[in-house]
Amino acid sequence: MFKYLSFIIALFLFGCSQQETPVEVTEKKTAQAEMNKEIVNKEVIAKQTEQDFQWEVDRFEDLKVLRYQVPGFESLPLEQKKLLYFLSQAALAGRDITYDQNYRLNLTIRRTLEAVVANYEGDRSSELYGKFMLYLKQVWFASGIHHHYSSDKFTPEFNAADLRQMVNNSPKAIFPTRVDETVEQLLARIEGPIFDPSIDAKKITKTKGVDVVTNSAVNFYRGVTEKEARDFYAAKSDPSDKTPVSTGLNSQLVKNQDGTIEERVWKVGGMYGEAMEEAARWLDKAVTVAENAEQKKALELLAKYFRSGDLKDFDDYNVAWVKDIDSDVDVINGYIEVYQDPLALKGSYESVVSVRNREASKLIDTIAQNAQWFEDNMPMDDRFKKKNVKGIIGKSIIVVMESGDASPTTPIGINLPNSHWIRAEHGSKSVSLGNIVNAYNQAKGASLEEFAWDEAEVKRVKKYGVLSGELKTDMHEVIGHASGQLLPGVGTPQETMGQHSSTLEEARADLVGLYYLGDPKLQEIGVSPSDEVAMAGYDTYIRNGMMTQLNRIKLGNDIEQAHMRNRQIVSSWAYEKGLKDNVIEKRVRDNKTYFVINDYNKLRVIFGQLLGEIQRIKSEGDSPAGEALVENYGVKIDQELHKEVLQRYASLNVAPYSGFVNPNIVPVMENGEIIDVVVQHPKDFVEQMMNYANNHSFLPNDN
């Protein structure tokens, strides 16, 4: 532990010259502080113009790193700025948790590499150092040594001897060794995981017929098999419980030396306790500047949950959070989504701190206000529809800070909580991450012209693509995830669908968005101006599901990521079911393949049919049908088509994945008090990652 603290101190000393630090002033320097404040604010305002704003800050391999704007921050009241600052600090406190969850040696490996960056005395312009930095950037982007989407382990372009040479050329570095461990022993311990492709090759394995727990590198299970894990949690399940907690959501499952199996709960005083304590401390500060009583209660309950680790406290927090509908500032923080767990039980740490964009919220709020109409008109058996849709809240938000599994890569829409009984009894919140979507739109590539069939399709997507994307995302989150109900006695989707639950749920929500995108209701309520909005949305979805998303996968690999499986299921199922009527036509021109929609109305009917079937599968807990749908339509790839897609993309210079650096949220201090909070946009990915390592590392190396 002392070596770990020394390592952090060493990194801190390196980073002080680069870090955006609070501005300290005295009474004698008040005038100068006000001048500095004005200068900073003018710089921030100037950078809000899309024309001058530098969107892309880095690009490497298949990745590009963007920035996002935080419009209007400088005009917020001081108390809201303080709240956003405190919540941002709480978010960053848990950053290291995601690394450790993704792989047991991620923190040790990352900190070893960061120690080299901080202390390397060799030639930083050399080819070797460039290859070293490329690998470290990949690790930072993916929060670990496995690709954030494909789950494959990165392959460094240098070898173990090169790493030893760089370590030896960093004599002042303090490396993250264990007690009584030499640097040589540390390197011997991490070289296999870094350089041997056979060791922990996949972060998440979902291949049918293999033990997905023992064959996945994620750090949610230690020493247990898939069967042992399933049996452990099956014994805890009570089908008669109408308000079940999300069993296993916030713990690591471990088999002890005596053969007993237990959970290591993620809480203050437990696993990840150091980070949870820091996060709770900042939440306590946030409580002091809460906007209203409802928000204060929710924040207090979240801090209580971090300290207790009791999932009943987490449910209490979620209920209070859903009821807080008036606050402008909001936060998601904790162990939320289960995509990184092959059994879809364990929640990955993430946080999103935001402020409401009231003007932009009108579109998503209009959809939310009509939630009951959408539910009543779903193309599914009436038994599966909610008779009384409750508490559907929709809003557009301006993201201020992201952390954990939401950073550097981020969602563009969120619907929470994930608990089905809380959704049914208390409702849910759906948000569109407006400034994130805008940043993506500003940094678009040139794949549309390459894969669209004709100029009419290109023009339609350019005119209505952004709006169709927003509508589809809003309906996915607001209506999709909040819709439908389980039949009495049916277990949760995690229990009935297992590893396929996330894929099927995302497909169901996508289909809700697609089905209603073509409904006249959207024009009736004033959120869509034309039928062409749906046409643009359908064109984009089929093109992506059948072809363009394949650019994210290595030739010869199956699809494993839940969202990608979902999109291929929807697209390939629709293509197959529409063959008789030539609804979607596969065309070839100049040896290039295109998928062209000939009948948008019939395609909408097909979307509705698949939506009804997936809802039946979920509501009835029909596990065999769910597995068949995923395995038959969502996993395998046409290898010739895949090869063609990769070749066509190779000439476009388009990075298939994007992520973000966060703005720095900086307090301006006077006599120990915060007199303002400002936004400063980083210009360098490496600088931000090193600053985070210096100032937001609270965990020991190996958990």
* 68: pLDDT strictly greater than 70: yes
Asked whether 607 and 515 are in contact (CB, 8 A), the reply is: yes
Reported confidence tier of residue 212, pLDDT bands at 50, 70, 90: very high
Say how far residue 222 (Cα) sits from the centre of its chain: 24
* 44: pLDDT strictly greater than 60: no
> Which segment of 160-164, 367-371, 584-588 scores lowest on mean pLDDT?
367-371
The pLDDT assigned to 50 comes to 54
Q: 664-670 and 673-680: which strand pairing? A: antiparallel
> Which segment of 74-88, 277-291, 412-426 scores lowest on mean pLDDT?
412-426
Query: How many angstroms separate the CA atoms of 15 and 442, rounded?
Result: 31
Query: How many angstroms separate the CA atoms of 560 and 624, rounded?
Result: 19
The pLDDT assigned to 238 comes to 87
Asked whether 668 and 406 are in contact (CB, 8 A), the reply is: no
Reported confidence tier of residue 239, pLDDT bands at 50, 70, 90: confident
Cα dihedral sign, 27-29-30-31 = positive
* 26: pLDDT strictly greater than 80: no
What's the rounded mean pLDDT across residues 351-371?
A: 94
* 2: pLDDT strictly greater than 80: no
> Which segment of 194-203, 371-380, 551-560 scores lowest on mean pLDDT?
551-560
* 318: pLDDT strictly greater than 50: yes
Q: 221-222 and 251-255: which strand pairing? A: parallel
The pLDDT assigned to 19 comes to 39
Query: In sequence order, what are the beta bridge partners of 588?
Result: 593
What's the rounded mean pLDDT across residues 15-34?
A: 38
Residue 448 sits at φ, ψ, to 5 deg, of -60, -50
Reported confidence tier of residue 130, pLDDT bands at 50, 70, 90: very high
Q: Is 147 left (phi over 0), alpha (psi -120 to 50) or beta?
A: beta
3-state SS string over 318-383? HHHHHHCCCCCEEEEEEECCCCCCCCCCCCCEEEEEEEECCCCHHHHHHHHHCHHHHHHCCCCCHH
Supply 283's token pair. 């939440």
Q: Of 276-280, 421-425, 427-431, 560-564, which one has max mean pLDDT?
A: 276-280
The pLDDT assigned to 653 comes to 82
Helices 273-287 and 95-102, interaxial angle, to 10°? 150
The pLDDT assigned to 208 comes to 87
The pLDDT assigned to 392 comes to 84
* 387: pLDDT strictly greater than 60: yes
Reported confidence tier of residue 31, pLDDT bands at 50, 70, 90: very low
Give the residue carrying structure tokens 């839940």: 562
pLDDT in tens, 281-316: 999 999 999 999 999 999 999 999 999 999 999 999
* 25: pLDDT strictly greater than 90: no
List the domain boundaries for the chain.
328-657
> Which segment of 8-22, 106-120, 348-362 scores lowest on mean pLDDT?
8-22
Query: How many angstroms separate the CA atoms of 123 and 243, rounded?
Result: 60
Reported confidence tier of residue 441, pLDDT bands at 50, 70, 90: confident
Asked whether 37 and 677 are in contact (CB, 8 A), the reply is: no
* 484: pLDDT strictly greater than 60: yes
End-to-end CA gap in the chain: 12
For residue 177, CA distances in Å to 44, 115, 626 come to 41, 12, 46
Say how far residue 594 (Cα) sits from the centre of its chain: 30
pLDDT in tens, 587-599: 999 999 999 999 9
What's the rounded mean pLDDT across residues 151-160?
A: 97
* 42: pLDDT strictly greater than 50: no
The pLDDT assigned to 48 comes to 43
Query: How many angstroms separate the CA atoms of 659 and 408, rounded?
Result: 5
Tell the burial category of 258 from Cβ atoms under 10 Å away from its Cβ (0-12, 13-18, 19+): exposed
Task: Tell which residue, 556, 576, 561, 581, has the closest CA to residue 503.
Answer: 561
pLDDT in tens, 445-458: 678 999 999 999 99
The pLDDT assigned to 600 comes to 98
Higher-confidence residue: 6 or 473? Answer: 473
Asked whether 282 and 299 are in contact (CB, 8 A), the reply is: no
* 4: pLDDT strictly greater than 80: no
Residue 351 sits at φ, ψ, to 5 deg, of -150, 140
What global pTM score does this model have?
A: 0.85
Q: Kindly state the DSSP code that residue 480 receives in the 8-state scheme.
A: I
The pLDDT assigned to 51 comes to 55
- In the chain, the percentage of residues whose pLDDT exceeds 70 is 92
* 29: pLDDT strictly greater than 70: no
The pLDDT assigned to 6 comes to 38
* 14: pLDDT strictly greater than 90: no
Query: How many angstroms separate the CA atoms of 547 and 221, rounded?
Result: 35
* 407: pLDDT strictly greater than 90: yes
How wide is the angle at C-alpha 541 spanned by C-alphas 588 and 352, nearest 5°?
145
* 159: pLDDT strictly greater than 90: yes
pLDDT in tens, 455-469: 999 999 999 999 999
Three-state SS at 64: strand
What's the rounded mean pLDDT across residues 166-177?
A: 97
pLDDT in tens, 131-151: 999 999 999 999 999 999 889
Task: Tell which residue, 54, 4, 106, 138, has the closest CA to residue 689.
Answer: 138
Task: Tell which residue, 391, 321, 400, has the closest CA to residue 356.
Answer: 400
